[in-house]
Amino acid sequence: MILVDSSVWIDYFNGVASPATDLLDNLLDRELLLTGDLILMEVLQGFRSERDLRTAQRVLGQLAYSDLGGREVALAAAHNYRKLRRAGVTVRKTIDVAIATFCILGNHRLLHTDRDFDPMVKHLGLRLAS
């Protein structure tokens, strides 16, 4: 299963053409995509128009859903955060470590455009959608 990060959804809903949004567009009808609480929050909080918000909720509501947090993810994410720091990686957003950790624990691939995930591929074994 592929978890699509808010970085891709935000570009997608804003009409930004990129390799990641093109891939998302192709995957929407062919692959089981996953979303979760943290991603919904990040994506939906940015809409100014109620109409656009409803459209996004309709699109996101058709995806598989999972809570991305919880005790197991929190403990593993704290461990991963510390591992990254020991490797000299400055983590800018804790939420990204939680999202990556959820993917790692669940053996999910991540589709993203956020450079903060790149060291998580190298140091934590995060798998990407391509």
Q: Is the pLDDT of residue 10 over 90?
A: yes
pLDDT for 98 equals 97
Averaged confidence pLDDT in the chain:
96
Q: What percent of the chain shows pLDDT beyond 90?
A: 97
At 97, which CATH number?
3.40.50.1010
Domains of the chain: total: 1
User: If residue 103 lies in a helix (H) or strand (E), which one and from where to where?
Assistant: helix 94-106
DSSP string, 3-15: EEPHHHHHHHHTT
Q: Is the pLDDT of residue 123 over 90?
A: yes
Q: Is the pLDDT of residue 130 over 90?
A: no
The residue range of the domain holding 34 is: 2-128
One-letter amino acid identity for 101?
T
- State the pTM of this model: 0.94
Rg value, the chain, Cα: 14
